[in-house]
Amino acid sequence: MHPLLEKKGFILDVDGVIGRGDKPIPQAVEAVNKLISMGKRVVFVSNNSTRSRRIYMQRFKEFGVDISEEQMFLTTYVTATYIRQNYGKSKVFTTGEAGLAEELKLAGHEIVDYRDADILVVGSNRQISFEILTKALRMCLDRDKIYIATNPDKIFPSEDGPVPGTGMIIGALYWMTDRMPDCICGKPERVIMQQALEYLQLKAEEVVVVGDQIDVDVLAGKNIGATTLLVLSGVTTRQNLNRMVEKFNTKPDYILNDFSELFD
Amino acid sequence: MHPLLEKKGFILDVDGVIGRGDKPIPQAVEAVNKLISMGKRVVFVSNNSTRSRRIYMQRFKEFGVDISEEQMFLTTYVTATYIRQNYGKSKVFTTGEAGLAEELKLAGHEIVDYRDADILVVGSNRQISFEILTKALRMCLDRDKIYIATNPDKIFPSEDGPVPGTGMIIGALYWMTDRMPDCICGKPERVIMQQALEYLQLKAEEVVVVGDQIDVDVLAGKNIGATTLLVLSGVTTRQNLNRMVEKFNTKPDYILNDFSELFD
């Protein structure tokens, strides 16, 4: 039996672990369902900042993973929850898409124009515009406004090539105003991982953090003191592994070709 | 007589010097026309990266300044000329607006999609989109592509408040790719100033560089070794002067409330 199967909980990345884009990795999905049937506590953490959990559930159903919305920590939800816990129900302006707005409203926040907002929430937006960027800029210039970002990813490796991540907006605002977010909620930062641990009701030592990116998933696991498992079914491959380990100066505790090898 | 009137040439900024937005500063316009009638050589240099010279001429006519297109160095024109002089007629992809595209075409370049382009030209665009930013990102990631920016301005002080300048795109690309432009053409960089000097057929010691921004105009003048005149009719005012001098650690050679004081 693989030593990681002694752990009580698993915090799993989605893309590159149980699927690639909208296509599942069937043997990895099977492994997740096996873990669940063994009584392991499982949650998913994703830096996706454009979709609500309601929308993401659809993908999990199509993949054939048997989990509930509560086991799904997307940065849309995590950011909305973080703001609620730290600032109460708030007036927010967001650069983000409908999925982020949906989670913000579900958490009790009000989406308002930038002049009336107390909190700027930066998330990726495929409809980003000069107007949205102008409003975000003006909020950043006002040091009384709180500034929260969903996730730090600079580039997202989409199926047809690299596209800007939420980090593009963070970088643009930093360049213009010398200001970084007061909090970034997504991996490798701690907020998303802490919410996952809290749901699992486990300590970091009792869980494995699983993902395909060293600088995102493995680092997120190390940042909370969890055991880390890198799978080579996504961004990191057998070919670029050594280069990635060197580049990010971070070594995962375990490496598998894909998640199903946990049961080999 | 003001000692600056002994100089042969004047390189003037536009906004904050002879006008504010589309409104002229009449006494400054009068002073410029007086200089011209005295036989002084006069050119205008502007970091505007969205308008062609053809379009800008309209503003000068409305202001009542009697100059020709050849005396107008906008970064749209300057960038197109720089590329022509250094790389010949080129295939370019630009993030910019119609005014920049117009000058690029007038200089003999072909505007093509990013995959076919050899040169990325970054200029501001009030219709900036995720798609344009994605294309610029992909060109930046390809180190074989040349990357030129019109001007470095991070924030533009528009009449209804701060809006992003071309620098926003430069900053976003730098954040995502660790890459800065191979050349930035606008002030305070030297390309625009050198083109102005060449047109004037004067040496830097023979000209005065006039502007309202210490970090843009005064620095541009100092970068070529010209005499610098700061006017307090735009971004820099009597109130913020000391703070600005300290912030940018640069002192203009002369300071006037507005350009017409040259004749007081």
CATH code (residue B121) = 3.40.50.1000
Q: Evaluate whether residue A58 is within a structural domain.
A: no
- CA–CA dist A191, A210 (Å, integer): 17
Average pLDDT over residues B193-216: 98
Query: Tell me, what DSSP letter sits at residue B111?
Result: E
Pair B97, B115 in one domain: yes
Nearest CA in chain A to B174: A171
Mutate to test the interface with B, among A134, A139, A177, A180 (most CBs of B within 10 A): A134
Listed in sequence order, the DSSP H helices in B202-256 are 219-224, 241-248
Domain count, chain B: 2
A253 alpha-carbon distance from chain centroid? 21
Residues B109 and B162 both lie in one domain: yes
What local confidence, expressed as pLDDT, does residue A159 receive? 84
Instruction: Verify that B193 and B170 share a domain, yes or no.
Output: no
Q: What is the reported pLDDT for A66? A: 83
**Statement to judge: residues B191 and B177 lie in one domain:** no
Residue B71 lies in a domain: no
Q: Is residue A67 part of a domain?
A: no
* Domain final residue pick, A184, A204, A220: A184
What ipTM does this complex have?
0.95
The reply to whether B91 and B170 lie within a common domain is: yes
**Domain C-terminal end among A125, A150, A184:** A184
Q: Are residues B157 and B227 in the same domain?
A: no
Mean pLDDT of B232-256: 96
What pLDDT shows up at residue A21? 85
Tally of CA atoms within 13 A in the half-sphere of B19 that contains its CB: 17
Which of A158, A184, A210 is the C-terminal boundary of a domain? A184
Residue A22 in this model has a pLDDT that exceeds 90: no
Rounded (5°) CA angle B140-B141-B146: 40
* In a domain? residue B234: yes
> Is residue A80 in some structural domain?
no
In this predicted structure, the answer to whether residue B91 has a pLDDT above a threshold of 90 is yes
Across the range A124-128, mean pLDDT stands at 98
Q: What pLDDT is stored for residue B21 in this prediction?
A: 85
pLDDT at B163: 97
3-state secondary structure of A109: coil
Q: Please tell me whether residues B211 and B192 are part of one structural domain.
A: yes
For residue B70, pLDDT beyond 90? yes
Question: Which residue in chain A has the smallest CA separation from B135?
Answer: A163
Does B257 lie at the interface with A, CB-CB under 8 angstroms? no
pLDDT at A60: 93
B150: in domain: yes
Confidence bin at A249 (pLDDT 50/70/90): very high
Give yes or no for A141 touching B (CB within 8 A): yes
CA dihedral B162, B166, B167, B170 (to 10 degrees): 150
B137 and A CB contact within 8 Å: yes
Average pLDDT for chain A: 96
Task: Say if the Cβ atoms of A176 and B164 lie within 8 Å.
Answer: yes
Average pLDDT of the residues in A47-57: 93
Neighbours of B151 (CB within 10 A): 29
Same domain? A236 vs A253: yes
Q: B223 lies in which domain range? A: 3-47+187-263
Q: Residues of B with CB below 8 A from A177's CB?
A: 155
Kindly tell me the burial class for residue B86, based on how many C-beta atoms sit within 10 Å of its own C-beta (0-12, 13-18, 19 or more): middle
First to last CA, chain A: 8
Specify whether A96 is located in the same domain as A132: yes
Mean pLDDT within A127-132? 98
A157, A216: one domain: no
Q: Is B169 on the interface with A (CB under 8 A)?
A: yes
- CB atoms near residue B168 (< 10 Å): 28
Query: Does A73 reside within a domain?
Result: no
Both A94 and A179 in one domain: the answer is: yes
pLDDT of residue A211: 98
* Inter-chain residue contact B138 with A162, CB threshold 8 Å: yes
B196 is a domain residue: yes
Q: Is there a contact between A130 and B127 if contact means CB atoms under 8 Å apart? A: yes
Give yes or no: residues A100 and A148 share one domain: yes
